[in-house]
């Protein structure tokens, strides 16, 4: 009984014990917050990549075949695990905005020229195979929303701005909410997109004439991922072909697979099937396609686990120092306890329990504060930004509009648990030293 009693008195009578608890808590908290953000980053990245990529993507060998969209879609749809497929046409472009002041924003080449990747999609197929409908629904500003989400490229006449009536018959385009906000655009505004036509790739010495067309903005989409939203505009496949002059029907085929299916197996089977009918191409799962990205994030998470070992070392050093100091200060008490008949193990246990108190309370503090901070990191970020007047989280750099957080409670408890166990184990060294102390020498200690 005296072990718990004395340990609590020794621990809670010393400010240094509280400092040690706070230090342990801060270390645990920091790690929980950083790992939660890293997990959130990984989850968001995976969700974003999966949402914008679909489960499996087929890249036809354009140089060899002018693929028929119907034939390719039909071949893929024969696989029992394929839920749906949608073809996309992809082409880089540069656009210029009409009737708006020049603004430098995002991927701008200059204040009046903005670089984008133009995606030609069939809206109905896209909605079935990707998170396209969700991106239309996620638009925050009601004035930017498309009139009809089931037909996002339709622009009602009443939405066409007065000065743009010149372009009433023009094709339409869907741009991101971020881009609309940044370039001060509104629905019905006109912009001209320029690209290099397929004929320019013949390399036959003929002069290259860029393909150019003016489009009206029907509204916005919002994936929540800054880098994607800064770089992509959508138009219908018909408008895409008309604009770019391409003869191809498919640049990429996006395939949605039933949730229970193994993507790698479906990928291999689709690859074999396409080869067998002479439609060879590159078949990749969404993870294959973004393996470098995902690998980098995963790798950073592993690096964090290595950093965790350093945190653990730091915590152990703090606890060891505090306990060693406590034993040093309590040498005479060790002699007193021995004189009162406390066995060596009991004397050591007093200090071991001190270490358990410090490590456990510090670990608990870290766990609770870490989870609380991680769960409210964006509120804290906003408050700090308002208070300090600086931008802490630059979405242009991190590609997310908010700090992504994913709380993994098992991992958090494991972090706190391993830290506490490590600190308790290291406490055994000074406790063991206390237990081995000669009581007579201890009583004489000045």
Chain residues binding other proteins by CB under 8 A are 1-2, 4-6, 9-10, 13, 332-333, 335-346, 439-440, 443
**DSSP bridge pairs for 400:** 225
Residue 393 to residue 280: CA distance in whole angstroms: 44
Q: What are phi and psi of 94, to 5 degrees?
A: -130, 130
* Shortest Cβ 345–other proteins spacing (Å): 7
Between 2 and 104, whose beta carbon lies closer to other proteins?
2
Residues 6 or more apart whose CB falls under 8 angstroms from that of 185 comprise 97, 100, 175, 179, 191, 217
Q: Which residues of 387-401 are buried (b: 16+ CB within 10 A; e: fewer)?
A: eeeeeebebeebbbb
* Shortest Cβ 15–other proteins spacing (Å): 13
Owner of token pair 């600086």? 390
**DSSP bridge pairs for 190:** 216
Residues 6 or more apart whose CB falls under 8 angstroms from that of 83 comprise 128, 129, 256, 257, 258
Residue 429 to residue 439: CA distance in whole angstroms: 18
Between 206 and 340, whose beta carbon lies closer to other proteins?
340
Between 336 and 368, whose beta carbon lies closer to other proteins?
336
Between 2 and 310, whose beta carbon lies closer to other proteins?
2
* Shortest Cβ 323–other proteins spacing (Å): 16
Residue 45 to residue 49: CA distance in whole angstroms: 6
Q: What are phi and psi of 262, to 5 degrees?
A: -85, 115
Runs of H (alpha helix) within 54-170: 69-77, 123-129, 132-137
* Shortest Cβ 364–other proteins spacing (Å): 23
Between 18 and 65, whose beta carbon lies closer to other proteins?
18
* Shortest Cβ 367–other proteins spacing (Å): 27
Between 74 and 343, whose beta carbon lies closer to other proteins?
343
* Shortest Cβ 313–other proteins spacing (Å): 31
* Shortest Cβ 131–other proteins spacing (Å): 60
Is the Cα dihedral 361, 367, 368, 374 positive or negative? positive
Between 34 and 331, whose beta carbon lies closer to other proteins?
331
Residue 198 to residue 35: CA distance in whole angstroms: 47
* Shortest Cβ 439–other proteins spacing (Å): 5
Specify whether the CB–CB gap between 10 and 350 falls below 8 A.
yes
* Shortest Cβ 31–other proteins spacing (Å): 33
Residue 220 to residue 160: CA distance in whole angstroms: 15
Between 18 and 398, whose beta carbon lies closer to other proteins?
18
Residue 137 to residue 246: CA distance in whole angstroms: 31
Between 19 and 83, whose beta carbon lies closer to other proteins?
19
* Shortest Cβ 352–other proteins spacing (Å): 15
Specify whether the CB–CB gap between 176 and 222 falls below 8 A.
yes
* Shortest Cβ 340–other proteins spacing (Å): 5
Between 29 and 337, whose beta carbon lies closer to other proteins?
337
State whether residue 367 is helix, strand or coil. Answer: helix
Indicate the angle between helix axes 2-12 and 344-375, nearest 10 degrees: 50
Between 102 and 343, whose beta carbon lies closer to other proteins?
343
Please tell me the number of Cα atoms within 13 Å of 210 on its side-chain side.
11
Q: What is the DSSP letter of 107?
A: T
């Amino acid at each position: 009984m005296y072990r718990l009693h004395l340990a609590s008195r020794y621990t809670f009578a010393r400010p240094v014990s509280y400092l040690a608890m706070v230090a342990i808590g801060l270390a645990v908290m920091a790690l929980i917050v950083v790992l939660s953000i890293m997990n959130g980053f990984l989850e968001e990245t995976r969700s974003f990549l999966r949402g914008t990529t679909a489960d499996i993507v087929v890249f036809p060998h354009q140089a060899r075949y002018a693929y028929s969209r119907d034939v390719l879609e039909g071949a893929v749809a024969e696989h029992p695990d394929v839920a749906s497929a949608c073809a996309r046409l992809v082409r880089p472009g540069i656009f210029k905005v009409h009737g708006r002041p020049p603004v430098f924003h995002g991927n701008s080449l200059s204040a009046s020229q903005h670089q984008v990747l133009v995606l030609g999609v069939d809206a109905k197929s896209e909605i079935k195979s990707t998170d396209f409908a969700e991106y239309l629904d996620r638009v925050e500003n009601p004035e930017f929303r498309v009139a009809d989400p089931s037909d996002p490229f339709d622009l009602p006449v009443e939405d066409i701005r007065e000065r743009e009536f010149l372009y009433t018959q023009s094709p339409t385009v869907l741009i991101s909410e971020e881009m609309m906000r940044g370039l001060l655009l509104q629905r019905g505004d006109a912009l001209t997109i320029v690209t290099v036509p397929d004929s320019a790739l013949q390399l036959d010495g003929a002069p290259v004439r860029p393909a150019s067309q003016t489009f009206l903005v029907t509204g916005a989409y919002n994936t929540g991922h800054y880098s994607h939203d800064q770089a992509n505009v959508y138009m219908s496949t018909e408008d895409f072909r008309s604009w770019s002059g391409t003869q191809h029907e498919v640049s990429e085929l996006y395939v949605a697979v039933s949730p229970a299916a193994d993507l790698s197996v479906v990928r291999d089977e689709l690859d074999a099937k396409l080869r067998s009918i002479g439609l060879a191409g590159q078949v990749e799962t969404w993870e294959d396609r973004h393996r470098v990205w995902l690998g980098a994030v995963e790798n950073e998470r592993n690096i964090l686990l290595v950093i965790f070992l350093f945190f653990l070392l730091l915590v152990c050093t703090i606890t060891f120092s505090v306990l060693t100091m406590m034993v040093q200060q309590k040498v005479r008490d060790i002699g007193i306890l021995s004189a009162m008949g406390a066995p060596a193990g009991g004397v050591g246990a007093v200090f071991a329990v001190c270490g358990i108190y410090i490590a456990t309370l510090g670990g608990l503090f870290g766990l609770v504060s870490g989870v609380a901070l991680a769960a409210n990191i964006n509120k804290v970020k906003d408050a700090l930004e308002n208070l300090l007047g600086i931008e802490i989280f630059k979405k242009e750099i991190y590609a997310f509009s908010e700090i992504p957080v994913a709380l993994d409670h098992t991992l958090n408890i494991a972090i706190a648990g391993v830290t506490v166990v490590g600190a308790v184990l290291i406490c055994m060294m000074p406790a063991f030293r206390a237990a081995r102390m000669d009581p007579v020498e201890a009583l004489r200690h000045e």
